[in-house]
Amino acid sequence: MDYKNILFDVENAIAVLQINRPKALNALNNDVLVEMKDAITKIENDASIRVLVITGAKDTPAEGKRPMPSSFVAGADIVMMSTIPLEDKETPKDFAETGQKVMQQLENLPIPVIAAVDGFALGGGSELALACDIIYASERAIFGLPEVTLGLIPGFGGTQRLPRLVGRNLAKELIYTGDKIDANHAKEIGLVNSVFSSDELMGKAMGLAKRIIAAAPLAVKACKAAVNDGYHKELDKGCEIEIDNFLGAFCSEDRVEGTQAFVGKRKADFKGK
């Protein structure tokens, strides 16, 4: 597939997916979601990719023109939604289902996914970040689910993932009011891992990705599986899931290499086997 709305690149086991509609503040429409799904499917089928970083493209204005505000993803495409007639129930349902499937596909990737959020992450932008494993934000990042101010509710998983991350009551306050919060507030409530300057953000996100790929690939995947699969289970069931994943990692060639490298005081050379 030729991409017109995203940029997708892979280098040294790190994939970077960039939403590329800066003139529309990187808003999500059906075309963007279809392209994202295609890129995520490529990642699923490429064992050499070990981390995915998601970010938004920045505007490059024509000479004499003012740049658009910085945006990770400013939400779903409101202009598109405003044209859907009241009697058309299939189009909005299909749009929400497509968005849900893409976010679920992203969350279910076996590799870590890092969101590098610079500027607006509103509506679908916050929902996209919530589907990632780790969120790094710039100081000018703004998060929020403002759908109620448009007569809507979050449709890409926001009402489900936000309460699980920050707690039910706080999530309800943010969702019911549509309030926007800055990066530091988002960090205080556990929505964001770390906050950096805009100039530092991508370097920090890529630095984290490089630290992750220095670890044993199968062990990292097993950690993600244990956390995600056990998170909503009772503790005893979660610990059973951990044992299963521990056993899988222990019975790998990477475990042999890692433990022997430690004993031999040398750097491990993991093969992902």
Rounded mean pLDDT, 218-243: 95
Helix (H) / strand (E) element for 58: namely none
Average pLDDT, the chain: 93
Percent over 70 (pLDDT), the chain: 96
Rounded mean pLDDT, 204-223: 96
Say how far apart CA 189 and CA 166 lie, in whole Å: 6
Catalytic residue from among 147, 240, 242, 253: 147
Question: pLDDT value at position 64?
Answer: 61
Rounded mean pLDDT, 142-149: 96
- With a cut of 70, say whether residue 55 has pLDDT above it: yes
Rounded mean pLDDT, 238-244: 95
Rounded mean pLDDT, 17-39: 95
Question: pLDDT value at position 68?
Answer: 61
Q: b/e map of 139-177 (b: 16 or more CB within 10 Å)?
A: ebbbbbbbbeeeebebbbbbbebbbeebeeeebeebbee
Q: What is the pLDDT of residues 57-87, one digit of tens each?
A: 987 665 666 666 689 999 887 888 888 888 8
CA–CA distances in Å: residue 263 to residues 214, 236, 268: 18, 33, 10
Question: pLDDT value at position 81?
Answer: 82
Q: Count Cβ atoms within 10 A of the Cβ of residue 265 and give its class: 0-12 exposed, 13-18 middle, 19 or more buried.
A: exposed
Question: pLDDT value at position 70?
Answer: 84
**Fold of the CATH domain 6-213:** 2-enoyl-CoA Hydratase; Chain A, domain 1 (3.90.226)
Percent over 90 (pLDDT), the chain: 85
Q: Is 176 helix (H, G, I), strand (E, B) or coil?
A: helix
- With a cut of 90, say whether residue 176 has pLDDT above it: yes
- With a cut of 90, say whether residue 146 has pLDDT above it: yes
Residue 104: partners with Cβ closer than 8 Å, 6 or more residues away: 131, 157
Question: pLDDT value at position 62?
Answer: 59
Question: pLDDT value at position 83?
Answer: 87
Query: Quick count: other Cβ atoms within 10 Å of Cβ 252?
Result: 20
Question: pLDDT value at position 63?
Answer: 64
Side chain identity at residue 19, one-letter code? I
CA–CA distances in Å: residue 62 to residues 19, 67, 83, 200, 263: 20, 8, 29, 25, 59
Q: Is 257 a catalytic residue?
A: no
6-11/14-19 β-pairing: antiparallel
Residue of 172 and 67 predicted with greater confidence = 172
Helix (H) / strand (E) element for 9: namely strand 6-11
Q: What is the pLDDT of residues 185-203, one digit of tens each?
A: 999 999 999 999 999 999 9
Domain parsing of the chain, residue ranges: 6-213, 217-263
Q: Which residues pair with 18 in a beta bridge?
A: 7, 55
Say how far apart CA 244 and CA 223 lie, in whole Å: 11
Question: pLDDT value at position 66?
Answer: 64
Which pLDDT band, with edges at 50, 70 and 90, does 1 fall under? confident
Rounded mean pLDDT, 151-159: 95
Q: Which residues pair with 11 in a beta bridge?
A: 14
Q: Does domain 217-263 have CATH number 1.10.12?
A: yes
Q: Is 240 a catalytic residue?
A: no
Closest to 123 in 3D by CA, of 98, 103, 151, 153: 153
Question: pLDDT value at position 82?
Answer: 85
Catalytic residue from among 11, 127, 200, 242: 127
